[in-house]
Chain A
């Protein structure tokens, strides 16, 4: 089966610019996650979707970050405007059930200059 796809793989932007990341989960996986992984740290959950509804966005900086999952499949994560501290790898993951194994994508490495 195809894995979790993410694009782009790398992105460099200047501060105050906007950026969007795309994720295509494994077919049939109802739960989708976005994580932020800052260098030297573990992944931090930003937002969790169940189908196309948000079930947890408690750690999403909502003043600048937004995410959506239209039709319960693909998802996009947007940052507007970006700050230097947003430099990180953004990981997308999906799972068949919310308590089940998470399958991770390759991540998008964002550098904000």
Chain B
């Protein structure tokens, strides 16, 4: 299995609080992605990174920011969490953009 660790695995938070999810890889892959998975919507790309400090927006980036200061870490921040951001969040990595390896997911509940 590709070395991807997402933390935390589960989080419950209140509306209006900031939340940071972490994705850590040991594969030295260039590309890193954050997706959210919701029933009826499949996986939707939030943000992605193609190198240290190089990031770009995906389909559903509003309300989210990311940072990548090191190759191995890609952080997703919800600046002020809302109930609509309750979801399962998946991190993925790729060397070439042709094959993604996924983490185990983070279940986030915003009350």
A-B interaction: no
B residues contacting A by CB (< 8 A) are: none
Chain A interface residues (CB < 8 Å from chain B) = none
